[in-house]
Amino acid sequence: NAGVMQNPRHLVRRRGQEARLRCSPMKGHSHVYWYRQLPEEGLKFMVYLQKENIIDESGMPKERFSAEFPKEGPSILRIQQVVRGDSAAYFCASSQRQGAVSNTEAFFGQGTRLTVV
């Protein structure tokens, strides 16, 4: 049973370009979370998605950032017109939840390290 798969592992973009980060959740998981880790900081929640729905994007910057989790295919975190401050490790996690039950753990991918030059 493959874990959470993220690609690419490393991504270098010039300022102004677009970055696309992909996340395939664990088999059977329909809940996806994106987190960002800036250097020397903890994991900051960005967005929570279920299939075809954004449930909570309160942690995601209002501009340039978007996320989707289509019916088929991986979840995509998209950053348009990247700036140096977007350089960070972006982690995707997935979980299998039953209604509003909270006692499930989220499983993380290995992350995508974005470097903006």
Partner 1 sequence: DQQVKQNSPSLSVQEGRISILNCDYTNSMFDYFLWYKKYPAEGPTFLISISSIKDKNEDGRFTVFLNKSAKHLSLHIVPSQPGDSAVYFCAANSGTYKYIFGTGTRLKVLA
What are the residues binding partner 1 (CB under 8 A)? Answer: 4, 6, 31, 33, 35, 41-45, 48, 55-56, 91, 93, 97, 100-103, 105-111, 113
Residue 65 CB, shortest distance to partner 1, in Å, is: 17
Residue 14 CB, shortest distance to partner 1, in Å, is: 23
Nearer to partner 1, 42 or 85 (CB): 42
Enter the DSSP assignment of 54. Answer: E
Residue 42 CB, shortest distance to partner 1, in Å, is: 4
